[in-house]
Amino acid sequence: MTRLGVFVVSWNRLPFLTRTLESLLAVLDVPARVTVIDNASEPETRQWLQRFGRCVVHQLEENRWVNGAHTAAWPADLTTEYEYVLCCDNDVEFLLPLSVDCRFLDGHRDCDALSLQHSPEHDTLEEVAWSQYRIARKRAERGTAVIYRAGFLQANRPLPTHMRLDFDWWLFRDGPESIARRGGLVSVLMGAARHLAWRPGDSTWQPVEIPEFNEFKRPAKEALSCP
């Protein structure tokens, strides 16, 4: 069994995807399998992924949205393949070693989901110290980058693919074994990652773009050199 399965759902926005994968691989210090699920991106992104060569690419020929993408790429039984599963978007910068996240879950068996990004628009019920870090406890969180126990994800399958139901809310509130239905909370490791693609209108609490966004929103050919 592999310690961590990583599934990045991607659709275009190559400069963001590049930053996501580079930062992910820089902090990946546990045995892991990284899969990018490409939701029928434009040729530029597909070609870059083929050349990148440092992850598995699951190429879809049509955009199946988040639920359909995970359904297409996940193994039949996640629990036979992985201990933990990181599901993330393609616009994330990872800041802390992933071994820290796994260590937290090892020691907190009552926690089924650990978010690596803190969104203040989701109310914090309590904040506690853990090691040298701060942990927030919430009823829900954005699904930008969340590590789940493989058994928790498996218990909430099949994902709803017949309509565009939100992946995050399915796991936090609406699924048959969601966090809410289990009477649990989502833990958030403060400062473990950040969402790169904040723009005006994306968030109720962050009205301005992050400083780096002007760089990353440029066309890919201007923002980076593909390997």
pLDDT in tens, 95-118: 999 999 999 999 999 999 999 998
161, part of any domain: no
Average pLDDT over residues 176-188: 97
Average pLDDT value over all residues in the chain: 88
Q: pLDDT at position 184, please? A: 96
Which domain range does residue 47 map to? 2-113+141-155+193-223
208, part of any domain: yes
147, part of any domain: yes
Burial classification of residue 33, based on how many CB atoms lie within 10 Å of its CB (0-12 exposed, 13-18 middle, 19 or more buried): middle
Q: Collapsing DSSP states into helix, strand and coil, what is residue 223? A: helix
pLDDT band at 169 (very low <50, low <70, confident <90, very high): very high
46, part of any domain: yes
Q: Bigger pLDDT: 9 or 204?
A: 9
CA 223 to chain centre: 23
173, part of any domain: no
Which residues are paired to 56 by β-bridges? 35
Over residues 38-78, the pLDDT tens digits come to 999 999 999 999 999 999 999 999 999 999 999 999 999 99
The vertex-45 CA angle with 39 and 48, nearest 5°, equals: 130
pLDDT band at 194 (very low <50, low <70, confident <90, very high): confident
Q: Is pLDDT at 226 greater than 80 in this prediction?
A: no
pLDDT band at 198 (very low <50, low <70, confident <90, very high): low
136, part of any domain: no
What amino acid occupies position 62?
A: E
What is the sign, positive or negative, of the torsion defined by CA atoms of 46, 51, 54, 57?
positive
Please state, as a whole number, how many other Cβ atoms lie within 10 Å of the Cβ of residue 132: 6
Q: Is pLDDT at 162 greater than 90 in this prediction?
A: no
121, part of any domain: no
> How many domains is the chain partitioned into structurally?
1
74, part of any domain: yes
Can the peptide bond before residue 158 be classed as cis, meaning omega within 30 degrees of 0? Answer: yes
Q: Collapsing DSSP states into helix, strand and coil, what is residue 35? A: strand
* Phi, psi (deg, nearest 5) at residue 22: -65, -45
Kindly calculate the radius of gyration of the chain based on its CA atoms and give it in whole angstroms: 17
Burial classification of residue 21, based on how many CB atoms lie within 10 Å of its CB (0-12 exposed, 13-18 middle, 19 or more buried): buried
Q: pLDDT at position 121, please? A: 78
CATH number, domain of 78, equals 3.90.550.10
Q: CA-to-CA distance for 40 and 184, rounded, in angstroms?
A: 35
